[in-house]
Every structure is written in C-alpha cells, then in structure tokens.
Amino acid sequence: MAEERSRSYQIDLGNLMAYDPSHHFDSIPSSREELIMVCLQKGTELVQEIANALFSLPSTEDPDGPIIKLPPPTTKLPREKHLPKPKPLTKWELFAQMKGIKKHKKNKRVWDEQTGTWKRTHGYDRANDDKDIPIIEAKPTDEPGEDPFAKRKAEKKQRVDKQEKNRLENLKKAAKVGALPSHIQLAATALPVTGTQKEAPKKASKEDLENVAGFAATATASGGKFDKKLPGEKPPKHTGKYRKFLPVVEGKGMGAQEKQQTEKILNQLLAKSSHEILDVNKAVTMFNVKKEKQRKKEKETSSSTPSKLKTKKKPLKSSSKKPVKKSSKTKH
C-alpha cells in the first residue's frame, strides 16, 4: 500500500515540493479542527516522501555532513512581482543605434606620457590629467589676456552641468514609463524632474528643517559635542538626553540620589489617592525608626575608627590650689 501511494506522489526535488494528485476527502470535515488534523497528517506523509527522495540521491562527504546536489526544478512557479519594464533608451543610445555606433570596452589603465607609468583612465590620479600640465601652449584663436587655466576649468564645469541635465532628463523619461532604476525608486516621489506627480511634494517648513538638523547634529556618539559648528548655526533643540540614569557603580552620594528618585516616583503615583492607600502615621513612624537606625550605625562606624584618626581630647587642668589635708591628730 505504501509503495503504491509513494508512486502516486509527484515530487519536485528542485523546489522541494511534493503533490498527491489522487488525494480526495472521503467526507467533508465537520469542524475546522478536524480539517486541520487531516491536512497535517497528509502534509507529514508528503514531507516524509521528500526526505526519502533526498536520501536516495548521491551525496558527497563533508565535515558538516553529507551534501546533496538538488536536480533542476520541474515545476514552474509564478513570480511574486511583475516582470521589470524595459528601460527606455537615452539620447546617446538612440543616436548610437541610428548611426550604427558600437560600444567598445576600454582599458582601465593607459600609459601616461608625462610620468612614464601606467595609470587609470578615469578618476583620481588618472593618466594625462590636465591639472598636471604646468604650461599650456597658446593657440592662434585664443584671445589676448585670457587665462587658459580658468578657461579650461569653466569648460569642464559646463560639461559636467550638461551631463547632469541629460541624466535628469533620462530619469524623467524612465519615470514616465515606470522603469526607474532600483537605487532611486524609493526617492522617486521626491524627484522634482519626474513629471508624474499629480501634486507637488510638500515644502518643508523652517521648523522641520531645524528639527532634522538637530537630529543629524546629535547623531554622533558624542552627541555633536566635538563637531565643527557652522557660522550662524543655532544649538540643536533636541539634545537626545531625555532621561538621566544613575551610574551602575555606586559612588559617594549615589544612595541619596537613588532614594530621592524613588521617592519622587512614589509621590507621583500616590499623589491623587494618597489618603486611601498610604497610612501617614505609619509611614512617619517607619521613617523615624529608619533614621534612628541610620544615626546609630553612623555612630558605631565613627567609634570603630582607629585611635590615630581620633581627635585627642586634652585633659582638664587642675587648679593651682592644693586641698588642705586635715590632720587626724588631736592636741592633748
């Protein structure tokens, strides 16, 4: 019987799944508890069949135990999310596609003629960097009196601004289609260039900005104590210290502080109905008894101090006049 049942099971080891197509209920369960018991019983059988099939596969020994390589899955499972939409082509990609320009992989390192070494093509310490050229050869088209270094810097700034503008335009097109890159999908609602928002994002008020700045300033381990202050920066409103805890190690005066803290909490709790819960006379008596015990304890500790630490009391000076002794002899 067991072999016939196991043959009727459909097992997909790639997905660790088992299915019984011939299963049916003999009778409709009368209650939910009965249905759960039947499902658990059938699920146990299917899990046992998966375990039997796994142990029948060839395994390799490992210090952690036998390792089994699962076969490819046979059941196609549905996706949790929809397929990603194709990303629209940028202006350059459209131009390259129209002109038949193919992208070639460039080398990451090139030969630098100035230093005679291999350097990076782009980025920090790159080869043939304009900043490393001390002398720029003048051209016939240059205007007299123009600084070539400042001109080169301004041209580079224009290229960077143009590239940033093109990047934002590409994001705008991608947002309209719904194919924004994954690293900016969370910030898509705050992008001012998307063009897909029905309502403009709410402008942050001055108070909100001050609160955010205060939280950011106190986010360090020192609470912003050693951070450099900007000119005109106000102290943060939220210092981050809302509760003050007593130190773990009890030092001098810590007992009194802890006592004051607990008394303050008790007074707040019992202030509304203190006449119903608290017996004032009994509390006063207990307080006096405790105070008397504390006074006796302090007295005992002071008396048990070494004699060297005690203040020596000077003996009282005797009077200069000596007492006259009366003679016991009588004159005859």
pLDDT tens-digit series, residues 128-144: 777 777 788 888 888 88
* Count of other CB atoms within 10 angstroms of residue 180: 20
Give the model's pLDDT for residue 194.
43
H helix or E strand, kind and range, residue 47: helix 32-55
Question: Taking Cα atoms as reference points, which of 53, 69, 56 lies closest to residue 10?
Answer: 53
pLDDT tens-digit series, residues 273-321: 555 556 677 888 888 899 999 888 888 887 765 555 555 555 555 555 5
pLDDT tens-digit series, residues 153-204: 898 899 999 999 988 888 888 877 777 766 665 454 444 444 444 455 566 6
The two tokens of residue 79 are: 């996706």
Give the model's pLDDT for residue 276.
54
pLDDT tens-digit series, residues 2-59: 555 656 788 898 989 998 888 888 788 888 888 888 889 889 999 999 999 998 899 8
Give the model's pLDDT for residue 207.
75
Give the model's pLDDT for residue 206.
74
Give the model's pLDDT for residue 191.
45
Average pLDDT of the chain is 76
Spatial distance between the Cα atoms of 5 and 46, rounded to a whole number of angstroms: 10
* Count of other CB atoms within 10 angstroms of residue 47: 12
The answer to whether 246 and 257 have CB atoms below 8 angstroms apart is yes
pLDDT tens-digit series, residues 271-286: 655 555 566 778 888 8
Across the range 239-265, mean pLDDT stands at 68
Our CA angle for 241, 242, 244, nearest 5°, is 80
Q: Is the per-residue pLDDT at 108 higher than 80? A: yes
Give the model's pLDDT for residue 263.
84
The two tokens of residue 182 are: 């994954």
Give the model's pLDDT for residue 162.
92
pTM for this model (two decimals) = 0.33
Across the range 70-94, mean pLDDT stands at 85
Give the model's pLDDT for residue 44.
92
Question: Taking Cα atoms as reference points, which of 185, 168, 191, 177 lies closest to residue 86?
Answer: 177
On the 0-12 / 13-18 / 19+ scale of CB atoms within 10 A, 217 is buried
- Quick one: how far is CA 76 from the chain centroid? 38
Spatial distance between the Cα atoms of 211 and 291, rounded to a whole number of angstroms: 48
Across the range 224-241, mean pLDDT stands at 69
Q: What is the CA radius of gyration of the chain?
A: 45
pLDDT tens-digit series, residues 238-249: 555 556 666 666
DSSP state of 130: G
Work out the pLDDT band at 266, boundaries 50, 70, 90.
confident
Spatial distance between the Cα atoms of 11 and 5, rounded to a whole number of angstroms: 12
Spatial distance between the Cα atoms of 295 and 62, rounded to a whole number of angstroms: 72
Give the model's pLDDT for residue 126.
85
Tokens 């924004």 locate to: 180
Spatial distance between the Cα atoms of 101 and 57, rounded to a whole number of angstroms: 52
Question: Taking Cα atoms as reference points, which of 37, 39, 52, 58 lies closest to residue 3?
Answer: 52
Give the model's pLDDT for residue 237.
61
C-alpha count within 13 angstroms, C-beta hemisphere, residue 246? 15
Give the model's pLDDT for residue 48.
92
The domain locations on the chain are: 10-68, 120-136+147-174
